[in-house]
Amino acid sequence: MNEALLRSLTPSVLGVLVRRGADFAAAEDAVQDALVEAVRVWPGERPRDPKGWLVTVAWRRFLDATRAEAARRRREDLVHEEPTPGPVPAVDDTLQLYFLCAHPSLTPSSAVALTLRAVGGLTTRQIARAYLVPEATMAQRISRAKRTVSGVPFDQPGDVATVLRVLYLVFNEGYSGDVDLAAEAIRITRRLAVAIDHPEVAGLLALMLLHHARRATRTAPDGSLVPLAEQDRDRWDKGAIAEGVGILQGALARDRLGEFQAQAAIAALHADAPTAGETDWVQIVEWYDELVGLTDSPVVRLNRAVAVGEADGPRAGLNELASLSDTLPRRTAVAAYLHERDGDLPKAARLYAEAAHKAPTLAERDHLTRQAARINADLRN
C-alpha cells in the first residue's frame, strides 16, 4: 500500500467532490471513507486510475450518506443523477483547499488540524498523536472546524499569508508521536509551491529546509538542547541547505521581499558559516532590520538584539534589549546570555535561573538551569 500516494491524492479528490456541490464536511468524511476502502482493496489490485477510483468511491459514499438524510431537501438536487464513473477532469483544487482550511474564522489550532486532515491526508488518530491529545478531542476539534467552513464558497479568494502562517505553525511543532510534523509541513508546503507561484511561498519552503537541515544536531543523545554555536556543522544536511538556498535566491530575485524570505536569508547566513565564529553577524543585523520594517514584531526585535550583541558587542545588544518589555518570552534568557558575554557573571547566573522558571518547555528549562549552574560553579572556583 502506497500511503504517500493516497495522501497526495487526498486534496484533489476532496476538491472534486466540493466542486460537484458536496458540503465540505460531508465531502471530507466521504473521502476518508474512500481512503479506508483503498487501504483494504488496493493491496490486492491497484486501479489504473487511482484518483478516478477514489473520486468514484468517495462520491458514492457521499450520495449514500445524503440519501439517508432524505429530509434535507437542499441536497436532493445533488443526488438526482449520479455522475458516470470515468476520467476525472484535470482541475487542481488544492490551492482552494489551503485557503479554506486556513480560513480567518478558524482558531490557529483548528486551522492546523484541518489542514493536516484535508490537505495533508493524515488520519485523526495520527494528528491526535502528533499533538499528544486524545483522539476524541482532536475529532471534535476537526468536526467543529469542518462545520465552520462548510458554508464558505469554495471559489472564494483566499489569503496566502494566512495559509503560510498555518503551515509555519505546523512546522514549528516539530516531531512528536508517530508523525514528523516538520517533515509533513515541508511536504505540504512543496505542494503549495506547485499550486501557486508566490515568492513568500518559496521563502517559507526555503526557511523550512534551512532549519530542518540542522535538526539532527539540535539535541544531544540525552535529549538536552544544543545551542546553534555548539552544533556539529559537519552533520548538517548539505543537500537541504543547497536546495533551500537555491529556492531562496530565486524568490529574492523577484524583488518582492516578505518576512519568510527575510527569515530564510538569516537562516542561510547561519548555514553558510563554516564555524560559529565566522558567522556574518553584520549582514544578519541588516536582515533583521528588514524584518522589523516588515513586521515590527517584538520577537524579531528580541532576536535582533542578540544579533547586535554579536556584531557590535554585548553592551550594544543590552542597549537594544532595554527597550523591550520584561514580559516578552525568552527576554530574560537573552539578557542572561548578553550579561555573561559582558563579564557580569553573578547577574548572568541569576538571570539564567530566572529564565529557567519561565521556560516554555522542559528541555529549555533544563538547558537554562545548567547554564546557571555552570556559571555558579565557576564563581565558586
**pLDDT tens, 298-314?**
999 999 999 999 999 99
Q: Indicate the pLDDT class of residue 223, thresholds 50, 70 and 90.
A: confident
Residue 153's pLDDT is what?
Answer: 77
Q: What is the 3-state secondary structure (H, E, C) of 301-315?
A: HHHHHHHHHHHHCHH
Q: Are 78 and 21 in contact (CB under 8 A)?
A: yes
Taking only the tens place, the pLDDT of each residue in 80-89 is: 444 545 454 4
Task: Give the H or E element holding residue 280.
Answer: none
Residue 176 dihedral angles phi and psi, to the nearest 5°: -160, 155
Q: Which helix (H) or strand (E) holds 179?
A: strand 179-180
CB atoms under 10 Å from CB of 173, counted, come to 17
* The pLDDT of residue 25 is above 80: yes
Going by pLDDT thresholds of 50, 70 and 90, the confidence category of residue 91 is: very low
Q: How far apart are CA 378 and CA 372, in angstroms?
A: 10
Mean pLDDT of the chain: 88
Give 154-208 pLDDT, tens digit per residue: 766 678 888 999 899 889 876 555 678 888 889 889 989 988 899 999 999 999 9
Nearest to 21 by CA among 86, 87, 88, 82: 82
Whether residue 31 has pLDDT greater than 60: yes
Q: What is the 3-state secondary structure (H, E, C) of 200-246?
A: HHHHHHHHHHHHHCCHHHCECCCCCECCHHHCCHHHCCHHHHHHHHH
Which is higher by pLDDT, 109 or 374? Answer: 374
Answer whether 114's CB lies under 8 Å from 106's CB: yes
Q: How confident is the model at residue 70 (pLDDT cuts 50, 70, 90)?
A: low
CB 22 within 8 A of CB 94: no
- pLDDT value of residue 174: 66
- What pLDDT shows up at residue 376? 96
Angle at 356 between CA 353 and CA 358, to 5 degrees: 120
DSSP run (H or E) holding 175: strand 175-176
User: What ranges in the chain are assigned the alpha helix state H?
Assistant: 3-19, 24-41, 50-67, 94-101, 108-114, 124-130, 135-149, 160-172, 181-195, 199-212, 238-252, 259-272, 281-295, 298-312, 314-321, 331-341, 345-358, 362-380
CB atoms within 10 A of CB 120: 26
**Quick one: residue 130, left, alpha or beta (phi over 0 = left, psi -120 to 50 = alpha)?**
alpha
Which of 63-77, 143-157, 180-194 ranks highest by mean pLDDT? 180-194
Retrieve residue 70's grid coordinates.
432524505
How many Cβ atoms sit within 10 Å of the Cβ of residue 175? Answer: 13
Query: What is the Cα–Cα distance from 87 to 296, expressed in whole angstroms?
Result: 50
Angle at 323 between CA 322 and CA 329, to 5 degrees: 85
Predicted TM-score of the model (pTM) = 0.81
Total Cβ atoms within 10 A of residue 55: 27
